[in-house]
A and B are shown apart, each in its own frame.
Chain A
Amino acid sequence: MNKEIEIKVCTGTGGIAAGGKEVLSTFKKTLPSAGIEATFLENCSIHKVGCRGFCSKDVLVDIVIDGEKTTYENIKPDMVDRIINEHIIGGNPIAEWTVGEAYNNFHKKQKKVVLSHCGEIDPEDINAYITAGGYEAAKKALTSMRPEKIIEVVSASKLRGRGGAGFPTGLKWELSLKIKSEVKYIICNGDEGDPGAFMDRSVMEGDPHSVIEGMIICAKATMSKYGFIYVRAEYPLAVKRLQMAIDQCYEAGLLGKNILGAGSDFDLKIFQGAGAFVCGEATALMRSIEGKRGMPTPKLWRSAVKGLWGKPTVLNNVETFANVPQIILKGADWFRHFGTERSGGTKVFALTGKVKNAGLIEVPLGISLREIIYDIGGGIEGGRALKAVQTGGPSGGCIPEELLDIEVDYESLAQVGSIMGSGGMVVLDETNCMVNTAKFFLEFTQAESCGKCIPCRIGTKRLLEILDRITSGKGKEGDIELLEELSRDVKATSLCGLGMTAPNPILSTIKYFKHEYEAHIRDKKCPAAVCKDLITFSILEEICTGCGACKRVCPADAIRGIRKMAHRIDPDICVKCGTCFDVCKFKAIMKI
């Protein structure tokens, strides 16, 4: 036997949580003792790969024999033996463990540019990245392109900021290049704070070198010598892998003085955030790197003119930088042909919530939301009806079912009252209450408001109080109008993006789901049966078998009854936690 064999085990955050490390070490331990000849083992490589997006099926394992790939899903360490014996030695893939239709459909409509290496190469090995064509773009840019030329290509590609605001990347770099200054900085914004978003984490963990390469090219284009990668504290694995990648680059002469002998210098450091959502905002992030409280400052200058420590600074998102090497290598036209007229390329989304195939996806801009949810996402869990799609996190809005056919790009999402944002996409079904959803986001922004400007500090607090009142059954006539008016004021007068976008979840849910607000206020009912104060739990006596399962789990001892007889919930004691509803196998518990 002289076959080339590659075993790839997913070890992103999702993969590790499902036991990826254990699966990997079992392969490493078992293979040499499985009675295989030594010559055979030499041709065998076992390594980690980054997240390939489909975390709900983790641990995912690829076995590649002479170029032929078989992917297994839901692999546990005790399954490794059989894979080695039957597939690797015996040559017969184990059909019942290989990925099913869902996995294939999940990938069919995707186009991987930023994520092309995630799930393919070992993120901790610079040689794997170089073998896959890595650092070719940096070489090209550093040795044969003038800064103006690099910027021309990036501008022509119509790459726009993937952090959410969509500012043309080429233009930003051009602004910085034009400023004459001895010291200039570039910063990679990896402070991915939107709840429900993990695009940047996956790129930093799965392909850290692509981010660094993009930054090396940007440094040349803007003539900057110093760079920072700002990573949030909640991403320890991303910090670890980026640091490894940076160390490897210094060793290989890709960072430091006189890079690749082409005469440019670039030093790169990681800065770990300490947990503050507002630090995703450019000026707040820079204050944080300066070691201060991360509060935004009025934007009297663009950061490209006056940013970190008062010096010209280019700040781009992780995904933006990760796109750059391929644009330089394959050209602006190649990149642009994926997207729409106004924005080129692909976008990574974190598709989550009540969708069957939750995970990380990359699609060409211009695809419809319906294609994303039904073709890639496989539709709604449990066959329930879709109610809305939330994009853009706490700064975005909810898009109702009837608008699912709009094209996904910066402008069309803004038109329907949401935003592209960094790429969170949370699917909500009929069991989600829209007023509660708006309240959830307001709780978030209110808690994360830094308190510097009054509209955001007090405005979000008052908005939250009104929503609290509505969801607890104390809403008054006129509350909807009050919410709308206050929302407009907060948007118009806040200092930074956090406050300016915080009311979006309220405005979009009022726009499309006003009837739910009215039901809460007028009828004191929560149509989706979510808001605790507006629902009661009761047991349907004809269905209850008296098994006692609910009684055992009730944390408040609110359920009474004798075994094999119908039970009863005491409404005065019930804390409405819903545990009984979940455990009842007979659907005997009613929630209205």
Chain B
Amino acid sequence: MEEILEKILKNHIKGECNIISLLQEVQEAFGYIPEKAAHWFSKKLDIPASRFYGVATFYTQFHLKPRGENVVTVCRGTACHVKGSERLLNRLLIELGIPHGEDTTDDLKFTVEKVNCVGACGIAPVVILNKKVHGKMTLDKLMKDIKKA
């Protein structure tokens, strides 16, 4: 872990050090932001760890817990809402057995998350399965795609 962090740090000392970009790289490397990483950078850069925590919890892109192997993102934008994305989401949580208030299955196979708008409203409702955008989604299609994943 330390090696990767060193590398990220090196990249950043070159440019102006920006906590957001730094955390984006940490997340890219680990899939989430390990608490240890925040403390490590805090010491190296002499920035209070609370600032890392503050930024990481402010922006929805950052995650403090490990994520599932497959990430299913349901768009909850207006166009998708009007076309029934709320029901897609609820059904998905039931099917995958994710308890209320959680977003990841116990076996860390799936994480289900919401996004405010993907900006692909012309093909609503939209679901992103492992970074690939799928449009005009139906419950049946979604379940089939998920079983394949």
Chain A contact residues, CB within 8 Å of chain B: 13-14, 16-18, 53-56, 58, 192-198, 201-202, 233-236, 271-277, 288-295, 350, 352-354, 358-360, 390, 393, 424, 426, 428, 432, 440-441, 444, 448, 450, 555, 577-579
Contact = CB atoms under 8 A, between A and B. Distances in A.
B116 A192 contact: no
A420 B81 CA distance: 21
Given A17-B135, A195-B78, A274-B59, 10 more contacts: A195-B117, A198-B120, A235-B119, A272-B24, A274-B61, A292-B19, A353-B79, A353-B82, A358-B121, A579-B87
Given A274-B59, A393-B78, A555-B91, A198 B24 contact: no
Nearest to A201: B119
B79 to A, nearest CB: 4
A198 B121 contact: yes
B133 A17 contact: yes
Interface residues of B, number: 44
Interface string B98-142: 000000000000000001111111111010000111110001000
B58 A56 contact: no
Contacts of B54: 293
Contact of B60 (A16, A18, A276, A358): A276
Chain A to chain B: the 10 pairs with minimum beta-carbon distance, closest first = A55-B122, A196-B78, A195-B77, A198-B119, A274-B59, A275-B60, A352-B79, A195-B117, A275-B61, A291-B18
Given A55-B123, A291-B18, A444 B135 contact: no
A226 to B, nearest CB: 11
B117 A234 contact: yes
Contact of B135 (A14, A275, A448): A14
B133 A16 contact: yes
A177 B91 CA distance: 55
Contacts of B17: 291
Given A291-B18, A353-B78, A277 B121 contact: no
A276 B59 CA distance: 6
B91 A579 contact: yes
Nearest to B134: A17
A432 B79 CA distance: 12
Nearest to B139: A579
A295 B54 CA distance: 11
Contacts of A196: 77-79, 117, 121
A353 B83 CA distance: 7
Contact of B115 (A234, A292, A579): A234
A390 B121 CA distance: 14
Nearest to A432: B82
Interface of B: 17-21, 23-24, 54-55, 58-62, 76-83, 87, 90-91, 94-95, 115-124, 126, 131-135, 139
B62 A274 contact: yes
B82 A426 contact: yes
**Which of A277, A432, A444 is most buried by chain B, counting CB atoms within 10 A of its CB?**
A444
Given A294-B58, A352-B78, A577-B87, A194 B117 contact: yes
A354 B78 contact: no
B91 A13 contact: no
Contacts of A393: 78
B55 A193 contact: no
A359 to B, nearest CB: 5
B24 A358 contact: no
B94 to A, nearest CB: 6
Given A14-B135, A276-B59, A353-B82, A577 B90 contact: yes
22 contacts: A14-B122, A18-B123, A54-B122, A55-B135, A193-B116, A193-B117, A197-B117, A202-B119, A233-B61, A271-B21, A274-B60, A275-B59, A275-B62, A288-B20, A290-B18, A291-B18, A292-B19, A352-B78, A352-B121, A354-B82, A360-B122, A450-B58
A58 B126 CA distance: 14
A198 B121 CA distance: 7
Contacts of A450: 58
B91 to A, nearest CB: 7
Contacts of B76: 195
Contacts of B55: 274, 291-293
**Which of B20, B60, B95, B124 is most buried by chain A, counting CB atoms within 10 A of its CB?**
B20
B112 to A, nearest CB: 16
A55 B120 contact: yes
A288 B55 CA distance: 9
A273 B131 CA distance: 17
Given A291-B55, A555-B94, A577-B87, A58 B62 contact: no
B59 A424 contact: no
A39 to B, nearest CB: 39
B119 to A, nearest CB: 3
Given A17-B134, A272-B24, A291-B19, A428 B82 contact: yes
Contacts of A271: 21
Nearest to B117: A195
A577 B91 contact: yes
A236 B73 CA distance: 14
Contacts of A426: 78-79, 82
B122 A359 contact: yes
Contacts of B19: 291-292
**Which of B62, B126, B134, B139 is most buried by chain A, counting CB atoms within 10 A of its CB?**
B139
A294 B54 CA distance: 10
B130 to A, nearest CB: 13
A419 to B, nearest CB: 15
A284 B78 CA distance: 23
Contacts of B121: 196-198, 350, 352, 358
A192 B62 CA distance: 19
Contacts of B133: 13, 16-17
B95 to A, nearest CB: 8
